[in-house]
Structure 1
Amino acid sequence: MKSDSQLKQDVTAELQWEPSVHAAQIGVEVADGVVTLSGEVSSYYEKWNAERAAQRVQGVRALAVEMKVKLSALGHRTDADIAQSAQHILNWNSLLPPGAVKVLVENGWITLSGVLPWQYQRQSAADAVHSLPGVTGVSNQIAIQPTVSASAIKSDIEVALRRRATTDGMNIAVDVQGGDVTLTGPVHSWSERELATRSAWGSAGVHKVVDRMNLVL
């Protein structure tokens, strides 16, 4: 198990390795394996990539994000401009049914809503607007429409977990109520946790995944 000082060094190094992040502007503190990122970044896209970089580091038990997005003078755009850009890029996304995703922008913060059949479509919509200039945050409120039975969802997810498991010790319990999936059990890294979550979202009809997995290092 890594010490807090080693974990701080590794997170700092990973931030410096990530080309989309200005690591010098981001503070890193670690206490009992919980990493806190602070400071100011110039875009929501940079903030999002900094979070992802920290989560990639082995040994991170939890992540607290205290970074703020401070747009430059050139980065400021009106909400109307951002909304128009977001709607255009979503309309051009071949993975999305035309008109299925609605856009609301307030003070640079984008809220996506609507109903889609698959999680990969929901994620694609959010990914499409992350890097738009002027964006200060993204809330993905797109719902997933259940299309199959709870038992079929549970079976699909359990099979996917076994197929994709990186270690023999990956033992995740799957509970399905309607389209809501709850995952419990031990995982040994953030990547293993993300793998389990992605596997759950990969089943048709899933519209919510509750992560109650325990990170055991």
Structure 2
Amino acid sequence: MTSHYHLSLFATATVAGLFLVGNAGLGAAEAEAKASIQSTFESTYIYRTFLKEDAVRAEERDGLIILTGQVAEPSHKYLAQEAVAGLSGVSSVDNRLQVKSEGTEKSDSWIQSKVRSVLALHRNVSDGKAQVDIKDGVITLRGEATTWTQRIFAAEYAEDVEGVIRVINLMTVQPLPVREDRGGHVGRSADDLIDDASVAALVRSVLANHRSTMQINVKVAARDGVVTLIGSARNPTEKYLVTILVSDIQGVTAVKNVMTVEAIAAE
């Protein structure tokens, strides 16, 4: 009797111990997973370039990512969502980020934020020093462009943002000096450092912010900088425009546009 009683106590204690150890292991694994998703998010190009000064936290719950904290402008809120959505294992995103100075939709501050975001994401204009001012929907561009082409593109891109009535381009042109490393070779391009999740997020953000592409139904995938576009365009010109815009985005090395054209498909 005593022997059976002691064995029963031993078995109960063993099971309880295993339960506590198991729970502790699960707790440690959960904490590690949370730290891992935050670390992965912080290693992305989008976080390092646009969100580093913001207070953004990413918490993972069975594939669902919950974003909390505060960002400086609306474009950062969208970029954060698109960046984590492209990470491995993420099934959906709950974006609870607050914007410090959001303003009402289509207000001058809202439009100004979108224009700044578009100019920052396009490769041909991002290395310029464009100052974006706005009054009653009219954008004034000041500062320096590195080439006349860049100056023209800056105005074209700004004018294609929803809410912009017209653009006054007062930018001057100041070419950048050619930089070489000590071996006499041009240094590694910054595009090489942009991860695929960030590339896809940048593409989606640009297409959503341009007035001429914001209504287009397109899915974006990126691998080693090569962007694949799947969806439909209303006509060949619209499909070509998407290719041109995406080709000029930071980190994009090539574009495979396999979008179907509705006008042709309907014939």
Same fold (TM over 0.5): no
Q: Which has the larger radius of gyration?
A: 2
TM norm structure 1: 0.39
TM norm structure 2: 0.33
More strand by share: 1
